[in-house]
Chain A
Amino acid sequence: MIKLPALLSNLEKWITPISEFLKGDGLCKQNVTHIELALEEALVNVCRYAYQPGQGDIEVRYQVLDNHRYLIEIVDSGVPFDVCTLPTPELKACISERKVGGLGVHIIRKMADEMTYRREGDCNILRLIFQAAPKQNDGVTPFQPCA
């Protein structure tokens, strides 16, 4: 668990230790990058919007589940906000018609295998689950190396 003030300047302090943990657990670079991307986008959303005006913390919880799955939870006590309700941005509009922004949650959806939100007490909890490629042939799961 890593709990720090919700500031963009703390981004590396959440992401780097989790990346190192994932690499140490044998995840390939592609899987680690997918988790980093989803985590960054989730953290940036909270840093920018959850405590405006004001200040607060973000707690990141991470856990290894079964079958090469990894759980990441991003917890804040800011204004109630379910990011899962945001619509998919328009992805085909030309440069002049495309909106700047709105891609962060889309990237989280694409990178995570499961994305759910719940409100617990005063907290927003974004729960992300990632299915990683098997680390090695364990005799049960067919080995599928990262692309």
Chain B
Amino acid sequence: MEMIVRQEDQSVVVSVNGRMDAVTASQFDKRLETLMAEGALHIIVNFRDLEYISSAGLQTILATAKKLENINGEILLANLSGAVKEVFEISGFDTIFRIFDTEDAALASI
């Protein structure tokens, strides 16, 4: 799995690609922790090029969302499709997060 981080005016966009499993999710978790430590309040995760996610990735997203919520921040999700979208849906994550069809739509919502 690879991550590309881009700073926008009021948010940070993290684009992930490849496979987020129980091993690679810890890299994602550390990156999000670092971004929050640096002051990120609004984090957009772009899943366009992610082909696989298991519960470890979902746990990282939920844990980050809880921390951001406590400081009036938010994690926004964009570009879910295929198996990634399916895992979000069966876990009920599609109803507790703001999910956008595109990264631009997520950026515009902040």
A and B held together in a complex:
yes
A95 contacts the other chain (Cβ, under 8 Å)?
Answer: yes
B52 contacts the other chain (Cβ, under 8 Å)?
Answer: yes
Among A37-45, A52-60, A77-85, A127-135, the stretch that binds chain B is: A37-45
A106 contacts the other chain (Cβ, under 8 Å)?
Answer: yes
Q: Give Cα distance in the complex from A100 to B63, angstroms.
A: 6
Chain B residue at smallest Cβ distance from A94: B96
Nearest CB of A to B51, in Å? 8
Nearest CB of B to A48, in Å? 9
A115 contacts the other chain (Cβ, under 8 Å)?
Answer: no
Q: Give Cα distance in the complex from A9 to B59, angstroms.
A: 19
B105 contacts the other chain (Cβ, under 8 Å)?
Answer: no
B23→A103 contact, CB < 8 A: no
Nearest CB of A to B69, in Å? 6
Nearest CB of B to A66, in Å? 26
User: Which of under 10, 10 to 19, 20 to 34, or 35 or more describes the interface residues of B?
Assistant: 20 to 34
B109 contacts the other chain (Cβ, under 8 Å)?
Answer: no
User: Which of under 10, 10 to 19, 20 to 34, or 35 or more describes the interface residues of A?
Assistant: 20 to 34
A69 contacts the other chain (Cβ, under 8 Å)?
Answer: no
Given contacts A91-B91, A100-B66, A107-B90, contact A41 B83 (CB under 8 A): no
Given contacts A37-B87, A103-B59, contact A44 B22 (CB under 8 A): yes
Chain B interface helix/strand/loop/mixed: helix
Residues in B with CB closer than 8 Å to A91 are: 91-92
A11→B23 contact, CB < 8 A: yes
B1 contacts the other chain (Cβ, under 8 Å)?
Answer: no
A76 contacts the other chain (Cβ, under 8 Å)?
Answer: no
Q: Give Cα distance in the complex from A41 to B92, angstroms.
A: 17
Residues in B with CB closer than 8 Å to A8 are: 22-23
The A21-67 residues at the B interface (CB cut-off 8 A) are 30, 33, 36-37, 40-41, 44
Q: 7 closest A-B pairs (Cβ-Cβ)?
A: A91-B92, A103-B55, A33-B83, A104-B55, A110-B90, A44-B22, A95-B65
